[in-house]
A and B are shown apart, each in its own frame.
Chain A
Amino acid sequence: MDERYYILILLFPLAGFLFNIIVGRFIRPKWTSWVGVMSIFGSAIVSMFAIFDVMSGKTIEYNVYTWILSQDLKINFGYLIDQLTAVMLFVVCFVGWLIHIYSVGYMHGDPGYPRYFAYLNLFVFSMLMLVMGNNLVQLYFGWEAVGLCSYFLIGFWYEKKSAADAGKKAFIVNRVGDFGFALGIFLLFVSVYALNYSEVFHKIPFLQGKTINILGWDVDLITLIALLLFCGAVGKSAQIPLYVWLPDAMEGPTPVSALIHAATMVTAGVFMVARLNPLYGLSDTALAVVGIIGGITSLFAATIGLVQRDMKRIIAYSTISQIGYMFVACGVAAYGAGVFHLYTHAFFKALLFLCAGSVMHAMSGELDIYKMGGLRRKMPVTYITFLIAALTISGVPGLSGFFSKDEILWFAFSSGKPYGKFLWAIGTITATLTAFYTFRILFVAFHGKFRGSVEDFKHVHESPLIMTIPLVVLAIGSVLVGYFSVPHFLEPIVGKVSVMANYAQERFVMIISIIAGISGIMIAWYMYIVKPQLPERLAKTFQGIYKVLWNKYYVDEAYSFLFVKPTIWFADKFIERFTDIRIIEGIVNGIPKLCYNAGLWARRIHKGYLQQYAIFMIIGICIFILILLSR
């Protein structure tokens, strides 16, 4: 297809958004959902063409028009479709399309139906802008826009205070990261005076060794840029310390969680690092930071997920943990493996979320797994697809998750980096924990006896076809997509990873990771099926640890105390009291008062006497005569 037509990939969702947001209210809900679904379908079709083009070796770069042109700053609005973008396009369009279809059933009857589809389309548009851009400004535009859309969608049921708060939290925490991101872009610009990828990559090697002086310390320029940009990734991809918004974001509708917080937005950080890999490759410190933060986050989140009771929250922590894996891969310069895991993770995580949505639908909104049980008899399709997703995430051989996770662990082990083996160890432990908590959900919710009332159990039913078909498709995807070797596909972009080990060690690592996964499943089996009283006794014995994990290490409380409350105090005392009330309102109220009083004062001239007016007229004429005389 001619390269100019690929802009349709962006235009279809945008058109869908505009249509739904403007006229969506006035037409039947069914039509708005059709528009939403078909626009993404259109994007998917056109991206198929693009992907085929890329697979036959072509790289498409096209500048649509020059957006900003100001001396040295020339920013185009254009798109770059290479192998990396192709992978992302596949994920966003295809998984996005399936989630749109699922939403038609899930959000049925909701009063905000058209608004939902409008925002969802806007989100897909923003994400596509992000991945298809050929310069950092477009990336940033998409970055911010997906953050905005996630605010809209998380706080979709805005009358509920917790949802509105969660939306705000997401946006603000993202903002903190985005601030670092923006600083990174600025620093990059003043160093190389270019912002589109090809120029930047060409000019970066010349910056090696340069330092910049900050507060008296000399900091390596490339490392600083990479770390600042990584700040944005930390915020967007929910790593330590900016992960706190993601669990609360579960207040939004479940398909939103599936799309945004599993498949697309949170992976934008990984995409960014992979896209800017020439930059990161030049700075060992930055790579170390990326890897270590990823590793620690993945272990940290997995431990929190062990004891939570809300199904969606467990899956949310699982997301944070898996993204940690992707950053571990990037940290050892195995960007291809990271993107591979992104690609497989999109499928099985979206599937997990959509199954949770299906369960929520059946349980009338209940999400506590300890109120469920034995659902597998009543919801077979959901059960089987959830099982497939759980096996995939645990790294059972043959499924896609195994391939991607194993690649990451292998590269972590075998890269020459000093922290590589440490990350490998963390990764393996986390794999066990991942398998454990995922199967915990499965066993507690789907096996055993129902823990609620009999009437509730009668109510439990399988979801309608429009919701189960996407589940099945995603399950098939989770199984099959691993067989397409993404790292090999991405080699032109991210290069090959140098491997400092041999084949025997590779076998060793693979066996260890399989053992880790299966042992996690076994432990979960033991604790929840064979001896169901064991978890409670363990909780009582290790009460201190249990309490810390249950309260998510008290991080939210710490942030509230350290950052939130002082900011609110400052805003109230200074900004509101002083500036807003006194100064601004003083002027805004004062000027009309001044005019009013001046008017009152000037009114006194008119006494109402006719002859007085005549006197004034004559005085005017006299002045006139004087002027004429003086000429």
Chain B
Amino acid sequence: MNPPIIEQIFFIYFFISLSFLSLSVIISKNIMHSTFFLLIFLLHVAALFLFLNAEFLMVIQIIVYVGGVLALFVFAIMVMNIKEEFRHKKFVKFAGAGLITGFLFFIGIYLFIKGAKTPQETLPPVDVNLIGRLLYSYYLLPFEILSLVLLVALVGGIIIAKKLPREER
């Protein structure tokens, strides 16, 4: 088996599994099930990064997304005490319009990208060192601004979600 075929088999596996997982996130009735499907989805994406010679990204993805965002989701679901109402329809009234719009969108994008050419020169395996250097020289400004964004998100999140004092409740 030559490497290209193995690559392609893995890629097809990823394709199918990622699609199936994301569909499951949407379709499942139970929120905790959706959350777990999301977890597996994120891990698959991390693996895909590995294929693309982006080890640093893979690690970041797992740490931040799985370890941070997903944990946040689980906590939020836990705190909110959402009661499952099984009689409640889970789809919006205009679901059909949404599907059609999505479909049109996909066709549009497909027409756009089917002409993309594949260059032969691909990224060699890189050191994290290099990323660090880029980050602190060329992309210093966005990096600093990102820190501000994180600060704002932190403060904003706390303020929006805090419990109101007893008199206003």
Q: Which residues of A contact B (CB under 8 A)?
A: 609, 611-612, 615, 618-619, 621-622, 625-626, 628-629
Contact = CB atoms under 8 A, between A and B. Distances in A.
Given A609-B92, A618-B102, A626 B97 contact: no
Nearest to B97: A615
B109 A625 contact: yes
Nearest to B98: A615
A611 B98 contact: yes
B112 interface: yes
A611 B92 contact: yes
A611 B92 CA distance: 9
A628 B108 CA distance: 10
Given A615-B97, A621-B108, A629-B111, 15 more contacts: A609-B92, A609-B94, A611-B98, A615-B94, A615-B98, A615-B101, A618-B102, A618-B105, A619-B101, A622-B101, A622-B105, A625-B105, A625-B112, A629-B108, A629-B112
Nearest to B102: A618
B126 interface: no
A615 B111 CA distance: 20
Interface string B89-112: 000101001100110110011011
Interface in B60-118: 92, 94, 97-98, 101-102, 104-105, 108-109, 111-112
Contacts of B102: 618
A619 B102 CA distance: 9
Contacts of B98: 611, 615
B109 to A, nearest CB: 7
Given A609-B92, A611-B92, A628 B112 contact: yes
Q: Which of B102, B105, B108, B111 has the most CB of A within 10 A?
A: B108
Contact of B101 (A609, A618, A626): A618
B55 to A, nearest CB: 33
A612 B112 contact: no
Q: Which of B102, B104, B112 has the most CB of A within 10 A?
A: B104
19 contacts: A609-B92, A615-B94, A615-B97, A618-B101, A618-B102, A618-B105, A619-B101, A621-B105, A621-B108, A622-B101, A622-B105, A622-B108, A625-B105, A625-B108, A625-B111, A626-B108, A628-B112, A629-B108, A629-B111
A249 B104 CA distance: 84
For the complex of A and B, the 5 pairs showing the least CB-CB separation, nearest first, are A625-B108, A618-B101, A622-B108, A615-B101, A622-B104
Contacts of A612: 94
Contacts of A628: 112
A166 to B, nearest CB: 71
Main secondary structure of the interface of A (DSSP, over half): helix
A535 B94 CA distance: 104
A541 to B, nearest CB: 102
Interface residues of B, number: 12
A628 B102 CA distance: 18
Contacts, number: 30
Nearest to B108: A625
A618 B104 CA distance: 9
Nearest to A614: B98
Nearest to A626: B108
A359 to B, nearest CB: 83
Contacts of A629: 108, 111-112
A626 B109 CA distance: 9
Interface in B11-69: none
B26 to A, nearest CB: 13
A618 B112 CA distance: 16
A619 to B, nearest CB: 6
Contacts of A621: 105, 108
A622 B94 CA distance: 18
Contacts of A609: 92, 94
A619 B109 CA distance: 13
B107 to A, nearest CB: 9
A358 B101 CA distance: 95
B97 to A, nearest CB: 6
B122 to A, nearest CB: 27
A619 B105 CA distance: 8
Interface in B112-145: 112
Contacts of B109: 625
A621 B112 CA distance: 13
A318 B112 CA distance: 100
Contacts of B105: 618, 621-622, 625
A392 B112 CA distance: 108
Contacts of B112: 625, 628-629
Nearest to A612: B94
A577 B28 CA distance: 72
A626 to B, nearest CB: 7
A273 B18 CA distance: 106
A622 B98 CA distance: 13
A473 B151 CA distance: 93
A625 B113 CA distance: 11
Contacts of A622: 101, 104-105, 108
A605 to B, nearest CB: 13
A625 B109 CA distance: 7
A364 to B, nearest CB: 75
A611 B26 CA distance: 15
Contacts of A615: 94, 97-98, 101
Contacts of B97: 615
A559 B147 CA distance: 90
A220 B102 CA distance: 89
A145 B101 CA distance: 74
A222 B39 CA distance: 107
A615 B101 CA distance: 7
Contacts of B108: 621-622, 625-626, 629
A618 to B, nearest CB: 5
A361 B152 CA distance: 84
A609 B102 CA distance: 17
B129 to A, nearest CB: 39
Contacts of B101: 615, 618-619, 622
B31 to A, nearest CB: 18
Nearest to B94: A612
Nearest to A611: B92
A19 B61 CA distance: 81
Nearest to B109: A625
A21 B112 CA distance: 75
A625 B108 CA distance: 6
A618 B111 CA distance: 16
Contacts of A611: 92, 94, 98
Contacts of A619: 101
